[in-house]
Amino acid sequence: MGHWVRFVSRLLPFAVALMLAAATATGSFASAAGTRADYVERVEPICKAANTANAGVLQGVKDEVARGHLKQAAPAVLRAARGLERVIGRLAPVPRPPADSRRLTRWLGYAKNGDRLLWKMGRSLRAERKGSVQAMANELVREAKRANAVVVGFDFDYCRLNPARFV
């Protein structure tokens, strides 16, 4: 029994120091993450810059597809997918408020699904598979609506996924 007491008495100061360090780190992480308004303030400029840069990327794609020029529409859709991928990559490391962390993880998950669909759509356009493109466009609209529903209380302006831009 004496051996165990001696072991615990030596370990206890280390354990307390470790717990204090963890509590301090958690507290500083929570303060770095801030509130929902802080998060919106940090991510909106990222989304605004991306929206401005990609404003005309998908312009005319719908008309190209309607005319049957699927291969000509593919590069624009693939550029849009690449742009969305970059935005997601810039949004992912932004610290999230602890209270909204799960919600924002779901939101980014829906955005990633949308990006995956854009890549698939671009490849299908290149392969001239119009039927699968229409199905993916419908699924993309659903993913965008799901993503927006998850963050409806955030009052995003630029970070809302706008399905009208994609289809």
Statement to judge: residues 77 and 14 lie in one domain: no
User: In 10 A of CB 147, how many CB atoms?
Assistant: 22
Q: How many domains does the chain have?
A: 2
Statement to judge: residues 22 and 55 lie in one domain: no
Statement to judge: residues 103 and 119 lie in one domain: yes
Statement to judge: residues 49 and 101 lie in one domain: yes
CA proximity to 124, closest of 81, 60, 63, 89: 81
Statement to judge: residues 15 and 97 lie in one domain: no
Q: What's the mean pLDDT in 52-60?
A: 82
Least confident of 26-30, 81-85, 104-108, 157-161: 26-30
Statement to judge: residues 59 and 82 lie in one domain: yes
Select the more confidently predicted residue: 16 or 121. 121
Separation CA 64–CA 167 (nearest Å)? 12
Statement to judge: residues 82 and 16 lie in one domain: no
Q: What is the pLDDT of residue 33?
A: 63
The yes-or-no verdict on residue 65 having pLDDT over 70 is: yes
**By percentage, how much of the chain surpasses pLDDT 90?**
58
Q: What predicted TM-score, i.e. pTM, was given to this entire model?
A: 0.75
Domain of 12 in residue numbering reads as 1-33
Statement to judge: residues 26 and 92 lie in one domain: no
- Residues with Cβ within 8 Å of 99's Cβ and at least 6 positions away in sequence, in order, are 36
